[in-house]
Amino acid sequence: MKLENMRLIVTGGAQGMGRHFVQRLAESGASVAVGDVQPEGLEAVKESCRGLPGQVFSRPLDVSKISDLKAFVDWASEAMGGLTGLINNAGILRDGLMVRKDRETGEVVTLDEAAWHATLAVNLTGATFMVRETVAKMIATDQKGVIVNMSSIARYGNRGQTSYAATKAAIAANTRTWALEFARFGIRVGAVAPGMIETPMIQGMNQKARDALVNMVPVGRVGLPEDIWEAVRFIIACDYFTGRTIDVDGGLSM
């Protein structure tokens, strides 16, 4: 599929990788509907794309609220004159060990239930129903296209990331499931699994932890949003690609 012909939703598009995807799509001439919980960030990304070949539309979106995402998909389709896909990028981190012992008090501390449910609400339920609503709209309007999900190399398991790993493993598995289900409608589904990428999530790490992770990456550096965009662009462009997850991690093994 040609990027300039795409009419795509990008969730979590106000910062980090999502913002980079919006910029690249607009540069390519695509139409983009950007959703995020950060209104100021939405205005900033829209302003940064002013004058580019593509059109950028923005509206607040909380993917953890089903009614919100349903309204967003309807709005995006109308604003862009149709939908040909989704970059399912919105996500959060709420890390914590399943069970640990407090070093000072010796108290046994367990995984916070609110953090677990918040992570699932955004990363899994929200991502899943974004696919449901987008694909339903595409089928109803007889439009072919592509869904790009964002998984993570954490899906293989990573200490302190029970909730995050669970959601990203599920998204990778359902990428295959949805590819099989949607193929007859001319809709492909692929996923990208980033490793350690230079985003606000990573920038919030303490330097010692960051350095330790970088030392584990065979290519010797943190990935950039552009590295992930290259994989996203491939999935969109290659009409013979579906049902697979591409690891873009610099060779990192967790």
Q: Which fold has domain 3-199+225-247?
A: Rossmann fold (3.40.50)
Helix (H, G, I), strand (E, B) or coil at 147: strand
What confidence score (pLDDT) does residue 230 get?
A: 98
Out of 57, 164, 178, 229, pick the active-site residue. Answer: 164
- Mean pLDDT, each 10-residue run in order, the chain (254 residues): 94 96 98 97 96 97 97 98 98 94 94 96 98 98 98 93 97 98 98 90 74 88 95 98 97 80
Q: What is the pLDDT of residues 201-232, one digit of tens each?
A: 677 667 887 788 888 899 999 999 999 999 99
Global pTM value: 0.93
* Cα–chain center distance at 113: 23
Report the C-alpha gap between 240 and 219 in whole angstroms: 29
Spatial strand order of the sheet with 31-36 comes to 55-60, 31-36, 7-11, 85-88, 145-150, 187-194, 245-248
Q: What is the pLDDT of residues 100-111, one digit of tens each?
A: 999 999 999 999
For this structure, is 156 an active site residue? no
